[in-house]
Structure 1
């Protein structure tokens, strides 16, 4: 039992005296209030509270002290009917009643209401919402939904979903915890029953479950071969053919690839589901067609094809550098290092030289064909040839004749002959006339134009359009892979070079004047011993190798 709250009020009378006598009067007024016994009620139900106050005639006021919010407070009157609030968990509600007497006294008392949650359990509901056309067939995406599940509580909601496959074939399910669940219709040899269990949980922890049974139909084609998507690649690219996306109902299967059309390619392993090849050198865009046969462990098979379009690489008509090795700061390393990326040997024509369809011979991607004095092709191993054709650029290059004596007592195209830069035109400004029979056997002069005219007059190698090469043309002959050797040219293709000791260098003229802003007295040379270029005085002599277009 709760104790009454008591307030004692003392009213003092006035004591007066007259004639040596008197009297007195005390008045004690005690106020009290009782809110009632503590209660236990269920959420959302009505309950009554009745307060008792003394002395009679006072007023009652109710207020909420703590607990979940209750509408309507404060309330006036000793007896009240209150609706317990909607709660998610058991709670405690404390109410306080205040009683004020007519004389102005005020007393209070609290009552505790234990609120019990009365959660209504959710209802789990499963439905199939895809595909729209039933029955489903192989590769259809099947979707089950739990969105029709409900929480009957007025302010309740379902907060989690959990799907389980109780029985049935293995499936590729997107998620087991979403409100929907999707999976592709698998390849089936016979009809299969699936049993699903859905568990839903509401925001008060209430759970319920539902089972769902469905049937998946067998597939007409038991083996599905998949050769992959058609591809577009460039010549020399490594191409992967992958049939691992094929499907069978047995535990294992095997593949066998064959080429149906296009340039013959060499597959790394045609009996594997994944095989590779390097696309061949092509002159025009080429289409390749491959077929894979997939066979399951019961001997049942199916085929699929793939087209691979091979295009030319945009290499242009220029030679690469001839560098076929990669290096770090101090030594040779395997190409492809992440620490030393994009080295010359990994880029351009040289990087796939072993797969080039070359016409002639040459280091890495260099491709030269030997020609006789009539410009007819001769065998690569011939030692009798007068010029060479560059099969990459299409240019035809002069091959020097064997060393024949001491300058100037040499033959016309002897590799020892050297010339001043004089092309007999306006760009020859700054050069001087080369003396006759000085650094070459000419009786006219030892200038470049005289040499060109004399060679053209012989219809050398079937042409009369021989000229001095441009800077880029001459640079295209340099094989930088021969660094450290005496000559950076293939001496099998360009024999009869002069001895470097004669002039102290192997500098060869280009046709391009070096514009230094003050004069036109220098032209570019390229040194065949180290590959360097230099703006060189036209009045000095250097070697020359003529070139012509076909």
Structure 2
């Protein structure tokens, strides 16, 4: 009975199982496998084999990520063979394959290929952009461009030009680390080829090079002088004549400079290729011409000229102060000092005192000519003279006589003093028996036609100040002693005031007049009835 029950239960389970399940059994399930991910270099062959089951189905290949692969086959059966594309950086490519089994099953798989970048050298490209035509003539400029250089997997970051031949160094007229360069055709005696190399560097520090040949034609002669560019300068400035760019076939050059026109100047180092001179004192624009003779080692020579235009400086129409030295806190220093700028001696006529041409004589910028009592010119070394002409302003100045004996007895005695008003000074401060006034003194001098003139007068404030040397403070008088040798005794009036023609109207109407103290340069306004000295002036 128990045996029957077991058999019955078994038959019942079998009956409940039903028919065979739909779809493939475990023995015929389709499959595909592309293998492991891989790493390849750009340009390398990518070979992939699809392992499928069963083997009678169809495959379809697709690239689904990354830069496109050229000539990618979509129906490559079970084996795919393509070239990895060029990439700038390491890049992933994903390839997928779909397999359809004979019974219609569809399966797929993917594989990732990492394509490694292999940095490539940049390419140096040289273009000759010169307007001149080869072979190039002496001193023609040649421009070379590297702008068309390129890098297929990056960018060009740096340029460097150099001459790789060594027989004659070329002159570069621009920086050698730019994308263009300019050179000058040198002086050669025969057709000569020069080689210029361009090196470019990319962002991977890789380099590329290229070389261009530059043909230069033979020069017409053995010596090529170059006196330099024409110049425009100011009077008194130091001018450089530079022929150092002269050339010769044997690279040996000596020079001799000569002046061929214009106001004569003294050339410094006239037997050198670089000479100098000080631009002369001019009243109007003047043109000077100079010639250099360039000589090679065999005695062959040729000449070139240069023109120098000299313009007058605007030094004003007034005298300067006579202060020609500059100082710091401790004492004397060279002028034009950047730490102590704009001093008196740095500007005006005093700044060019050593270069000013003079008609007569005098220290610093002062220029006087001595006259006798009749107004005739005397030599600069004359010891006896009655007047002096200021050759800068053209004014003629009275020269006083020494103290008279008895005192105040000489008309032009240096000790005489006067007042502006007639009645102020007592008789006795001048040789007049009637009145010691400025007006009476001027009339007496004009009556004598002193120094050939009868238009003597008081100087203006500016005129008298103009002949005082404020840089000569250690003397009894600021008037140049060589031309104004006598001065009054300061103790007589307790000052050395000289009348000028300017009236002071500050608060006092015409009761006050300006005076200048020639011992120290100070000015004052004193009453017209006060006493002061007189030095007359006239314009011829």
When normalised by structure 1's length, the TM-score is 0.76
Q: Matches of residues 314-463 of structure 1 in structure 2 within 5 Å? A: 314-405=314-405, 409-422=408-421, 433-463=423-453
**Greater CA drift, 526-535 or 283-292:** 283-292
Q: How many pairs are equivalent?
A: 509
For residues 70 and 252 of structure 1, the distance between their equivalents in structure 2, rounded to whole angstroms, comes to: 66
**Greater CA drift, 296-305 or 447-456:** 447-456
For residues 323 and 121 of structure 2, the distance between their equivalents in structure 1, rounded to whole angstroms, comes to: 77
Note the C-alpha offset of 1:256.
0.9
Q: Matches of residues 495-506 of structure 1 in structure 2 within 5 Å? A: 495-506=485-496
Note the C-alpha offset of 1:341.
2.3
When normalised by structure 2's length, the TM-score is 0.78
Which blocks of at least 5 consecutive residues in structure 2 are unaligned?
Answer: 1-11, 55-59, 100-106
What are the superposed Cα offsets for residues 173-207 of structure 1, whole Å, 9 maximum, x if unpaired?
45666665542221111222345566677889987
For residues 266 and 94 of structure 2, the distance between their equivalents in structure 1, rounded to whole angstroms, comes to: 88
For residues 41 and 116 of structure 1, the distance between their equivalents in structure 2, rounded to whole angstroms, comes to: 5
* Structure 2 SS opposite 1:379: coil
For residues 333 and 208 of structure 2, the distance between their equivalents in structure 1, rounded to whole angstroms, comes to: 66
Q: In structure 2, do the counterparts of structure 1 residues 179 and 462 end up closer, same or farther at CA, with 3 Å as the change threshold? A: closer
Task: Tell me the residue number matched to 2:5.
Answer: none
Task: Tell me the residue number matched to 1:231.
Answer: 231
**Greater CA drift, 490-499 or 184-193:** 490-499
Q: In structure 2, do the counterparts of structure 1 residues 479 and 46 end up closer, same or farther at CA, with 3 Å as the change threshold? A: same
Q: Matches of residues 139-288 of structure 1 in structure 2 within 5 Å? A: 139-144=139-144, 165-167=163-165, 169-173=168-172, 174=174, 182-195=182-195, 212-213=212-213, 215-288=215-288
Picking from 465, 469, 473, the partner of 1:483 is 473
Note the C-alpha offset of 1:144.
4.8
Asked if 1:547 corresponds to 2:517, the answer is no
For residues 533 and 446 of structure 1, the distance between their equivalents in structure 2, rounded to whole angstroms, comes to: 23
Note the C-alpha offset of 1:414.
2.1
For residues 208 and 383 of structure 1, the distance between their equivalents in structure 2, rounded to whole angstroms, comes to: 86
Q: Is the 8 A contact 1:269 1:276 kept in 2?
A: yes
Q: CA RMSD in A?
A: 4.7
For residues 495 and 148 of structure 1, the distance between their equivalents in structure 2, rounded to whole angstroms, comes to: 82
Note the C-alpha offset of 1:90.
4.9
What are the superposed Cα offsets for residues 51-100 of structure 1, whole Å, 9 maximum, x if unpaired?
9799xxxxx999968x66899xxx9xx9999996542355433568999x
Q: Is the 8 A contact 2:41 2:117 kept in 1?
A: no
For residues 534 and 433 of structure 1, the distance between their equivalents in structure 2, rounded to whole angstroms, comes to: 22
Task: Tell me the residue number matched to 2:526.
Answer: 536
Q: Is the 8 A contact 2:425 2:529 kept in 1?
A: no
| More strand, by proportion | 1
Q: Is the 8 A contact 1:294 1:303 kept in 2?
A: yes
For residues 197 and 355 of structure 2, the distance between their equivalents in structure 1, rounded to whole angstroms, comes to: 59
Q: In structure 2, do the counterparts of structure 1 residues 319 and 211 end up closer, same or farther at CA, with 3 Å as the change threshold? A: closer
Q: In structure 2, do the counterparts of structure 1 residues 210 and 437 end up closer, same or farther at CA, with 3 Å as the change threshold? A: closer
* Structure 1 SS opposite 2:275: strand
Q: In structure 2, do the counterparts of structure 1 residues 391 and 145 end up closer, same or farther at CA, with 3 Å as the change threshold? A: closer
Note the C-alpha offset of 1:315.
2.7
* Structure 1 SS opposite 2:451: helix
Q: Is the 8 A contact 1:43 1:87 kept in 2?
A: no
Q: Is the 8 A contact 1:89 1:204 kept in 2?
A: no
Note the C-alpha offset of 1:139.
1.9
Q: Is the 8 A contact 1:35 1:96 kept in 2?
A: no
* Structure 2 SS opposite 1:345: helix
For residues 206 and 496 of structure 2, the distance between their equivalents in structure 1, rounded to whole angstroms, comes to: 94
Q: Is the 8 A contact 2:469 2:479 kept in 1?
A: yes
Task: Tell me the residue number matched to 1:136.
Answer: 136
Picking from 458, 468, 474, the partner of 1:468 is 458
For residues 113 and 466 of structure 2, the distance between their equivalents in structure 1, rounded to whole angstroms, comes to: 99
